[in-house]
Structure 1
Amino acid sequence: MKQTYELIAPCHFGLEAVLKKEILDLGYEITSVEDGRVTFIGDDEAICRANVFLRTAERILLKAGSFKAETFEELFQGTRGIAWEELIPEDGKFWVAKASSIKSRLFSPSDIQSIMKKAMVERMKSHYKVTWFPENGASFPLRVFLYKDIVTIGIDTSGDSLHKRGYRTLTSKAPITETLAAALILLTPWNRDRILVDPFCGSGTFPIEAAMIAANMAPGMNRSFLAEDWKNIIRRKCWYEAMDEANDLLDDHVQADIQGYDIDGDIVKAARANAQSAGVDHMIHFQQRPVSALSHPKKYGFIISNPPYGERIEEKKNLPALYREIGERYAALDAWSMYLITSYEDTEKCIGRKADKNRKIYNGMLKTYFYQFMGPKPPRRSQEKRIEKQG
């Protein structure tokens, strides 16, 4: 029987439901959904597939254990009580890479990190019957969360955050992360049969993520993961099988109408280069164009964008005129929907319409809102044909 684990997938605050659906679609059982993370059950194959296929998770952690600790002694003993020898080989390199504490008595990250490392060494010394570890093998970095004195420990299987798909070598001033862009697209009813335009495309993240979704391209296809070296836990063939599955599902000949515009020509060139690196440049039309020139002859399209928020004081004065322009161009489009992520508080006032839905999302530490202006649904195909014949 295969060994199963609890796996923790952190995500952006406010987007847990999107990640939960992704995990369920992969076929895994969810055990808990908390602020900023989803926990599920899976084996070594699940670790590989989650890393390769999940678009909205920040990383995949193998849960090592959880316990209550109000004192450093309880933290030491709780950490020492975990069977580290079942997870980390004698030559493994192990350390607490990150510790965060919310509403807990223990709050010093550096003290938490050093005490837990000592406890792990003590446990493994007694098991391996050695006094010193070479730590020249595979890496096993730990991520530790303390919430209301409950310590949860996960070993990072991903390495670089999963938003690093490997395609974005050139970025604009304030890029949106790939995982956040994918999650926001998945929150909309957009699909590959519908037009998608990003009039503030920057480094191209929204159009590229949309093209990857349209082509059923796994986000982790073109990168490596830390746990590829964990031969004691993950069978090598699981990585090969996950990549084979990704290649089998890929449909990069799909037709899609995805467009990205930006007022800065150099940024447009960078976006085009990123799309080429992702292997989806043939699916996206990038063009230097101001938002004032936004138009499209067809109906039922989508604007999905991350317009400027005016985080710098000198930009703030330009925001009312910019957002009024967005509203005017949107109103001129026929039966379109518009989705904007922004921290600008007067968005609805300047656009001249109240959003149908508004979702609070944390983009890093910045509180933003995902304004959803919904257009009508297109008629069904059979209905469309009837209308054409009548015309």
Structure 2
Amino acid sequence: MKNNFKLIATAAMGLESIVANEVKALGYTNVEVENGKVIYETDSLGLVRSNLWLRTADRVKLVVGEFQATSYDQLFEQTKALEWEKYIPEDGEFPVSGKSHKSKLFSVPDCQSIVKKAVVERLKQKHGIASWLQETGSLYKIEVALLKDKVTLTLDTSGAGLHKRGYRIDQGDAPLKETLAAALVQLTNWTPDKPFYDLFCGSGTIPIEAALIGQNIAPGFNREFAFESWDFIASKLHDQALEEAEDLANYDQPLDIVGTDLSHKMIEVSSANAIEAGLGDLIKWKQMQATDFHTKAEGGYIVSNPPYGERLGDKKEVEEMYHQLGKVLQNYPSWNVYILTANEKFENIFGKKATKKRKLFNGFIKTDYYQYFGSKY
């Protein structure tokens, strides 16, 4: 039997269109974009491939059912009417989380409890169990999400969030999520034959994500997913998707990627993380001040998430560094510069108006992505 699923790839605010492009690049065409999510249809192999390949999505959820509900009775009966037994075996563990927005059923704990009861009733009936369910088997995380009285019930196929690639051994104080780092790279028109620098590399996330993109390595290649222990997703499909990813990777693609940071410790951390990612000596790491940047190369790319100077004492220092960096980079008119910062006066301090800017959220911090396109050389 061929399973067809409706999937939701969740996305941080501002990244929905990038996630949608990634879904389409996997070959799925019936794609809808909503706030914080991308909805599409696929089969079992598509579910596996989505987890393996989506660089900028937070997680992939499988839609079990959708319906309107304005009373707890409706929520119970319609949840119970869904075919949970197709997904959850009699020993499956299924905790329920929830959220509610602009809905009559606003008490999340009550919604969670009712959904749990309804699923228990359905599974006992279908699996022929008179007593309670043991829940000693694989994990099936259910979410009940209400929006304007519409209920969406999903299973989380990913497990740990997709930003957890499995390579981060250590990190700095304010690490950039891998999914956002991948988005910053994809929002440029960098190609793997061009030099790529991050002058504030921290734990190395942006250069590592650039290298994975540059060699077309699936971001989920080195980690595990929740669906791997599910009976209705054949294990051979995961093997098939991994084999396909191995064939699609271009390990021979030469890369000129450099990560620099003022901190010796962060350079060591970056190097260790790159080795864990299987990128070994592909990325060069260098301890230096960003303002000491110099190169003879033309038409390269700088993609950085510098300190924002949010603490009062740091602000002046950080703004002085932005100003000096702007002066240094004037000497490299062919270079493309992309800077993510929460400082709203960045263009004035840097000394140049951005070609483009885009609003993005770094966690809960509202930032702008300032994009300076280099001149043709």
Query: TM-score by structure 2 length?
Result: 0.96
Give SS of 1:281's match.
coil
Letter in 1 for 2:150: I
Letter in 2 for 1:129: G
Deviation at 1:262, TM superposition (A): 0.4
What is residue 21 of structure 2 aligned with on the other side? 21
CA deviations over 1:87-130 (Å, ceiling 9, x no partner): 2111111111x322222233333222222111211222222232
What is residue 316 of structure 2 aligned with on the other side? 317
Letter in 2 for 1:19: V
What is residue 49 of structure 1 aligned with on the other side? 49
What is residue 271 of structure 2 aligned with on the other side? 272
CA deviations over 1:110-163 (Å, ceiling 9, x no partner): 222222111211222222232311111111001232222212121011111111
Whether the 8 Å contact between 2:360 and 2:366 is mirrored in structure 1 is: yes
Deviation at 1:31, TM superposition (A): 3.7
Give SS of 2:370's match.
strand
Whether the 8 Å contact between 1:79 and 1:120 is mirrored in structure 2 is: yes
Distance 1:71 1:250, change over 3 A: same
Could you tell me how far apart the structure 2 residues matched to 1:16 and 1:122 are?
37
Letter in 2 for 1:144: V
Identity of aligned residues (%): 43
Could you tell me how far apart the structure 2 residues matched to 1:86 and 1:325 are?
61
Give SS of 1:197's match.
strand
What is residue 138 of structure 2 aligned with on the other side? 138
Letter in 2 for 1:269: E
Letter in 1 for 2:113: S
Give SS of 2:259's match.
strand
Could you tell me how far apart the structure 2 residues matched to 1:263 and 1:303 are?
16
Deviation at 1:203, TM superposition (A): 0.3
Whether the 8 Å contact between 2:24 and 2:31 is mirrored in structure 1 is: no
What is residue 2 of structure 2 aligned with on the other side? 2
Could you tell me how far apart the structure 2 residues matched to 1:100 and 1:49 are?
27
Could you tell me how far apart the structure 1 residues matched to 2:215 and 2:99 are?
37
What is residue 329 of structure 2 aligned with on the other side? 330
Give SS of 1:282's match.
coil
What is residue 291 of structure 2 aligned with on the other side? 292
Distance 1:362 1:49, change over 3 A: same
What is residue 109 of structure 2 aligned with on the other side? 110
User: May I ask how many residue pairs the two structures share in their alignment?
Assistant: 376
CA deviations over 1:231-265 (Å, ceiling 9, x no partner): 1x111110100111111122223211111010000
What is residue 383 of structure 1 aligned with on the other side? none
Letter in 2 for 1:21: N
What is residue 281 of structure 2 aligned with on the other side? 282
Could you tell me how far apart the structure 2 residues matched to 1:125 and 1:250 are?
46
Give SS of 2:159's match.
coil
Letter in 2 for 1:301: G
Deviation at 1:329, TM superposition (A): 2.1
Letter in 2 for 1:307: P
Letter in 2 for 1:339: Y
Distance 1:363 1:30, change over 3 A: farther
Bigger shift: residues 297-306 or 321-330: 321-330
Whether the 8 Å contact between 1:291 and 1:325 is mirrored in structure 2 is: no
Could you tell me how far apart the structure 1 residues matched to 2:331 and 2:46 are?
47
Could you tell me how far apart the structure 2 residues matched to 1:339 and 1:377 are?
17
Give SS of 2:223's match.
coil
Could you tell me how far apart the structure 2 residues matched to 1:322 and 1:107 are?
48
What is residue 223 of structure 1 aligned with on the other side? 223
Whether the 8 Å contact between 2:20 and 2:31 is mirrored in structure 1 is: no
Could you tell me how far apart the structure 1 residues matched to 2:86 and 2:269 are?
46
Letter in 2 for 1:87: Y
Bigger shift: residues 200-209 or 85-94: 85-94
Bigger shift: residues 124-133 or 38-47: 124-133
Distance 1:366 1:285, change over 3 A: same
Written as runs of structure 1 = structure 2, the 5 A alignment for 1:192-211 is 192-211=192-211
Distance 1:118 1:213, change over 3 A: same
Could you tell me how far apart the structure 2 residues matched to 1:304 and 1:144 are?
38
Letter in 1 for 2:149: D
Give SS of 1:29's match.
coil
What is residue 244 of structure 1 aligned with on the other side? 243
What is residue 388 of structure 1 aligned with on the other side? none
Deviation at 1:322, TM superposition (A): 1.9
Letter in 2 for 1:133: L
Could you tell me how far apart the structure 2 residues matched to 1:320 and 1:336 are?
22
Deviation at 1:377, TM superposition (A): 4.3
Written as runs of structure 1 = structure 2, the 5 A alignment for 1:38-77 is 38-77=38-77
Could you tell me how far apart the structure 2 residues matched to 1:99 and 1:351 are?
44
Query: TM-score by structure 1 length?
Result: 0.93
Could you tell me how far apart the structure 1 residues matched to 2:375 and 2:145 are?
44
What is residue 349 of structure 2 aligned with on the other side? 350
Alignment gaps of 5+ in structure 2: none
Could you tell me how far apart the structure 1 residues matched to 2:352 and 2:365 are?
24
Could you tell me how far apart the structure 1 residues matched to 2:322 and 2:331 are?
14
Give SS of 1:224's match.
coil
